């Protein structure tokens, strides 16, 4: 086997996405060979295929995409801790070469010099190929009972990190948060809500839609769905807010919506140039006079993968299964990258070849 099929793009070039033949993964990528089973698709992938984001590995024209992955180990040396048949997920980010203090401590999600790389996104091939190689340090075993639901691990790590940091910030003083508001009922918002409910918080999820799968998923969690035009007092006064849309206007512009000490975590990424009507003076007063915290959170380190794996293992598998609204076989890959209104998570399925 000298070539394998992979979904690739020429970064920066719109409509360059294609199913192409790419060379087999090089040995130096690591001692574990994994066969890809499934790839989850998110907004970042769509930005990359639109030519707005992403970089190829040095000296190469094309980037293999795919950072949300699920695979099965095909071959692994005995000292790797993995064996053929294990269900696994590859970590996305790699530490920068310096490395900065954060990367040196394994906190590559907090890299301070921006020289980190990310598989399928920034300077490193992703997982949307029939096979990939990897070092065990960057591979996480998934409970086999999860099956294809293991593909939800990477998005769950993003919210596991957000929760980890919210709780770390919260420990700066005595605090007993009760209500949580999540903005956005996409996969990140719904997974953030899952972790909120698992922590016993009164949880509100706000989105634009009025019917369909998203409000239903919120209710099935035991959380309250709030239509964005209809923000209730209770939701508006939440102690913790996790923003999962990239549209932060709603959170920052109205005094009545920031009534007390609050931790706001931004996980959504907005387009540059978004028009703003935020009053910086009011924002300042709201933050300072209430000891509030507004912070951003991206990516995840190995600890967050472990936390996310636990959260998924404790979740109702039927609820997790309903987050995956479409599974598209590799032969029909263009369909996987086309957005449909009631999509939550679309998954691209790779042929199931046993190891
Ligand atoms: C991924 C993160 C990544 C971020 C920025 C997200 O879609 O889940 O792992 O750090 O994009 O590239």
Q: Is the CB of 67 under 6 A from ligand 1?
A: yes
In the beta sheet, which residues pair with residue 346? 41, 326
User: Which residues contact residue 246 at a Cβ distance below 8 angstroms, ignoring those fewer than 6 apart?
Assistant: 268, 269, 270, 271
- Measured distance CA(53)–CA(277) in Å, rounded: 27
Q: pLDDT value at position 342?
A: 87
Architecture of domain 157-296: 3-Layer(aba) Sandwich (3.40)
Vertex 116 angle, CA 55 and 41, to 5° = 55
Vertex 124: Cα angle to 123 and 128 (nearest 5): 130
The token duo for 253 is 């512009």
CA 67 to centroid of ligand 1, rounded, Å? 8
What are the φ/ψ torsions at residue 333 (nearest 5 degrees)?
A: -50, -35
For ligand 1, say whether the CB of 283 is within 6 Å of any of its atoms.
no
The whole-angstrom separation of Cα 302 and Cα 322 is 26
Q: Whose CA is nearest to atom 3 of ligand 1?
A: 299
- 298 within ligand 1 shell (Cβ under 6 A): yes
- The whole-angstrom separation of Cα 174 and Cα 157 is 27
Q: Six-digit token pair at 162?
A: 């957000």
Residue 290 Cα to ligand 1 middle (Å): 31
CB of 301 shorter than 6 A to ligand 1:
no
Q: Which of 44, 45, 140, 245 most suits a substitution to test ligand 1, by most atoms within 8 Å of the C-beta?
A: 44
Strand partners, 66: none
DSSP 279-326: -HHHHHHHHHTTT-EEEE-----HHHHHHHHHHHHHS-HHHHHTTEEE
Residue 198: the pLDDT is 98
Around 209, how many Cα atoms within 13 Å sit in the side-chain half-sphere?
Answer: 16
Query: What's the order of all strands across the beta sheet hosting 240-243?
Result: 224-227, 202-207, 179-183, 240-243, 263-266, 293-296
Q: Going edge to edge, which strands form the sheet with 117-119?
A: 93-94, 117-119, 123-124
Residue 355: per-residue pLDDT: 47
Architecture of domain 3-141+316-349: Alpha-Beta Complex (3.90)
Atom of ligand 1 nearest to the CA of 122: 12
Q: How far apart are the first and last CA of the chain?
A: 15
Listed residue (353, 300, 346, 350) closest to 152, CA to CA: 346
pTM above 0.85, yes or no: yes
Contact call for residues 177 and 184 (beta carbons, < 8 A): no
- Identify the residue whose C-alpha is closest to ligand 1 atom 12: 121
Distances from the Cα of 192 to the Cα of 76, 102, 140, 166, 273, angstroms: 34, 25, 21, 12, 27
**Strand pairing of 18-23 and 3-9?**
antiparallel
Residue 298 CA to ligand 1 center (angstroms) comes to 6
Q: Quick one: residue 207, left, alpha or beta (phi over 0 = left, psi -120 to 50 = alpha)?
A: beta
10-residue stretch averages of pLDDT, the chain, 355 residues long: 90 97 97 98 96 97 98 96 97 98 98 98 98 98 96 98 98 96 97 98 95 96 93 87 87 62 92 77 86 96 97 97 97 96 95 66
C-alpha of residue 267 to centroid of ligand 1, in Å: 10
pLDDT for the residue 272 = 79
Q: What is the residue extent of each domain of the chain?
A: 3-141+316-349, 157-296
- Residues 312-346 as b or e (16 or more Cβ within 10 Å = b): beebeeeebebbbbbebebeebeebbeeeeebbbb
CA of 47 to the centre of ligand 1 (A): 11
Is the shortest distance between the CB of 299 and ligand 1 below 6 Å? yes
CA distance 111 to 161: 14
Look-up: residue for tokens 């009545």? 256
- The CA-based angle 190-181-303, given to 5 degrees, is 55
């Amino acid at each position: 086997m000298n070539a394998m099929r992979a979904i690739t793009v020429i970064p920066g070039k719109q409509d360059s996405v294609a199913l192409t033949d790419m060379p087999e993964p090089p040995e130096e990528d690591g001692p574990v060979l994994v066969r890809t089973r499934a790839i989850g698709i998110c907004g970042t992938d769509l930005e990359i295929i639109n030519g707005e984001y992403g970089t190829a590995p040095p000296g190469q024209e094309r980037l293999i995409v795919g950072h949300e992955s699920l695979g099965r180990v095909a071959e692994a040396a005995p000292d790797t801790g993995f064996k053929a048949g294990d269900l696994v997920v590859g970590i996305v980010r790699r530490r920068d070469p310096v490395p900065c203090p954060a990367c040196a401590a394994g906190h590559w999600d907090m890299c301070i010099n921006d020289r980190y790389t990310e598989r399928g996104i920034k300077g490193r091939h992703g997982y949307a190929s029939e096979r990939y190689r990897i070092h065990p340090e960057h591979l996480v075993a998934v409970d086999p009972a999860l099956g294809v639901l293991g593909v939800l691990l990477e998005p769950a790590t993003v919210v596991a990190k957000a929760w980890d940091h919210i709780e770390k910030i919260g420990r700066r003083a005595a605090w007993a948060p009760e209500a949580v508001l999540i903005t956005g009922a996409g996969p990140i918002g719904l997974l953030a809500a899952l972790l909120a409910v698992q922590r016993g918080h009164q949880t509100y999820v706000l989105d634009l839609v009025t019917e369909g799968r998203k409000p239903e998923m919120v209710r099935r969690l035991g959380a309250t769905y709030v239509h964005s035009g209809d923000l209730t007092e209770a939701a508006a006064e939440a102690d913790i807010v996790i923003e999962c849309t990239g549209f932060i206007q709603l959170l920052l512009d109205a005094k009545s919506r920031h009534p007390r000490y609050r931790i706001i975590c931004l996980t959504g990424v907005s387009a540059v140039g978004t028009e703003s009507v935020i009053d910086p003076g009011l924002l300042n007063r709201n933050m300072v006079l209430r000891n509030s915290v507004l912070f951003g959170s991206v990516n995840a380190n190995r600890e967050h993968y472990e936390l996310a794996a636990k959260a998924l293992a404790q979740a109702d598998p039927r609820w997790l299964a309903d987050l995956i609204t479409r599974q598209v076989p590799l032969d029909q890959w263009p369909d996987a990258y086309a957005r449909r209104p009631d999509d939550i998570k679309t998954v691209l399925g790779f042929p199931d070849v046993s190891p």
